[in-house]
Each structure stands twice: as C-alpha cells, then as structure tokens.
Amino acid sequence: MHAIRETTIALFCAVLIIGLASVGSAADNKAKSEEEIGIRHETLYDEKAVKPAHGEYGKADPGSSKPIGRAFENSPPLIPHDLTGMLPIAQSNNSCMGCHMPAAAEAMGATALPTSHFFDIKTGKDLKGELDGKRFDCMQCHVPQVNIPEPIRNTFKADFRTKKAKTSSNLLENLNEGVKAD
C-alpha cells in the first residue's frame, strides 16, 4: 500500500514540476521577443536596420586637450587629443613616439612613456631606454573616445590606492606585488 501511495505522490510532484516549468517558459516567451533580447533592439537575423551609434572624436590638438581620468589604477590612459595625420602607425613612421618618448615629452608637454614600455615584461629584461617591440603599436591599447550615450550605464567604480594613481601609472613598480619569488 505504502509503495503505491509514495509512487502516486512522486508522480503528482513530477507532473506539477513539469507543469510549472512549462508555464514559466511560456510566460518568459511572452515577456521577451527576439528583438528585445539584445542591446540593439533589432532582429537578430538581419543587419539592415542596425545603425551603430557614431560620434565625433575630440578635435583638440595635442597641447590643448585635457587628459581623461584613468579608468582604474594602471589602466592604459585614453587618448584625449585629435589624431589627424598621425595614423596609421607604420614601421617607418610612429608619430606618437615623436612626442611621447621621454626625451621629447617634456618639451612637448606630453606624458612620457612609462618605464614598463622600456622593459620586456615577459623575460624581465630592462631594455635600457629602447622601446619594447610589443609596445610599438600604441593604438592596440590606447584609444580615443567619442561622447555618445552608453547603451548600458557603467556603474564600475575604480579603487585608487593613491591620489597620484588617478592621473599617472607605476605598473612596473608594483607588477610583482603579492608574488613571492623563490
């Protein structure tokens, strides 16, 4: 008798769970159409109506632009100035270096390349003032900004340990922080 009653209860529960699950998914399907799933609110099967938001890059020349606050400690700083005539960066022409190499930076009023860019982080070798080849393509890490509304508001708040870290970097000094070498 007991066995039969337990089986009946188990069956009842199973039917109830399946029932609830299908009600749930039906309600979900009704609440969100495919167009509503993504950030762009367009069909996922066609690109025709998708117009990415475009903005204008800053037009202030180097020397008259205002550095943008660092996103987080030791993040690559964003480029605040106009880049007209500076791109593309080519093997024979890297205008960024013309103003940002330490020897030129002070006279240009530009932030000098940090020590980390003259150091092979992979091998730990100090390159004695020579730019690490992996740093040659500045735009791989440093990018300009446009002023357009964010599709989703960014609520990230960085924790800076010092006031100085908000406007300048010191990655090489604390790269091995917390790492114990033998």
Residues that bind ligand HEC (CB under 6 A): 62-65, 67, 74, 76-77, 79-81, 83, 86, 95-100, 108-111, 113-114, 116-117, 135-142, 168-169, 171
CA distance 159 to 85: 36
**What's the N-to-C CA distance of the chain in angstroms?**
70
Decide whether 140 or 176 has the Cβ nearer to ligand HEC. Answer: 140
Decide whether 43 or 172 has the Cβ nearer to ligand HEC. Answer: 172
CA distance 143 to 76: 9
Minimum distance, C-beta of residue 58 to ligand HEC, in the bound complex (Å): 9
CA distance 97 to 108: 11
Decide whether 38 or 109 has the Cβ nearer to ligand HEC. Answer: 109
Decide whether 43 or 65 has the Cβ nearer to ligand HEC. Answer: 65
Minimum distance, C-beta of residue 153 to ligand HEC, in the bound complex (Å): 24
Minimum distance, C-beta of residue 96 to ligand HEC, in the bound complex (Å): 3
1-39 in b/e burial notation, b at 16+ Cβ within 10 A? eeeeeeeeeeeeeeeeeeeeeeeeeeeeeeeeeeeeeee
